[in-house]
Amino acid sequence: MMTRLLVRAAAPLACTALALFSFTGREGRHNAPGYKAAEVQFTCPVDGNQFTSPVTYSYTDFGTTKDLMQKNGEGKFYEHQVHSCPRCHYSGYKQDFEEELTDYQKQAVRRIVRKHKGKIDQVAENLLAAKIHVALGEYPWAQADLYLYASYLLRDKEFRQEERRQYQARAAELLIERPFDESEQGQRAKAQALYLAAELYRRAGKFDHATQTFGDASEIALKPEGLQTLIDQQYALAEQRNDDNTL
């Protein structure tokens, strides 16, 4: 069990080490044992609307599920990763609201969000953030995190499991596209990313993709300790065509 200070979730937690970060939040807290968040004021870079939204700044790591979802007690770790302007629905990470957009970029965002009227849920915020990031010039593969978070948010939603599997499959596709360098750290991160992609494919019922990708992960010589055991266990489930999405 480990307590962490949090910076932007700019890449899947499975693939990068979290940098240390601290800040002083405004009053108003959303805390559970081992989890701390604070209400922070945001200014929307599209329409100038000011609002507050909770931001996680520390949590206790109780390990992960087999799809590398953090277990953090009663906190709202994934609920607080993406923020959304309640007026225009511009959505993104905390630092996305600190960037200045050109008029052209604002128009690009408005074309994406204009279909959304009224309140949207946190899953929709993640999907909007992914589309906005691509419209503003980011690589599509860099949005794997957001589809992954959307799937985590649906973990306990009984009647949205098919939707969850769609996001898992999309996250898997993008994880495979992500480039990694040949350094030891890069290869370890690649092995984790491929394992995660394979496990997401398995959960989505795409078993041929899963077994192939588990094999690709297994072939990487430099892997984090214990990852090969996990690959072997989940590969066996994929071969059995087991799409258990609760592990």
pLDDT of residue 4: 33
> Mean pLDDT over all residues of the chain?
86
pLDDT of residue 225: 93
pLDDT at 74 over 60: no
Residue 10, both tokens: 């700019």
pTM: 0.86
Q: For 26-43, what is the mean pLDDT?
A: 72
Lowest mean pLDDT among 22-26, 122-126, 185-189: 22-26
Distance, CA of 123 to CA of 179 (rounded, Å): 26
Buried b (16+ CB within 10 A) or exposed e, 48-65: eeebebbbbbbbbbeeee
Give residue-wise pLDDT tens across range 167-208.
999 999 999 999 999 999 999 999 999 999 999 999 999 999
Domain regions of the chain by residue span? 2-179, 185-247
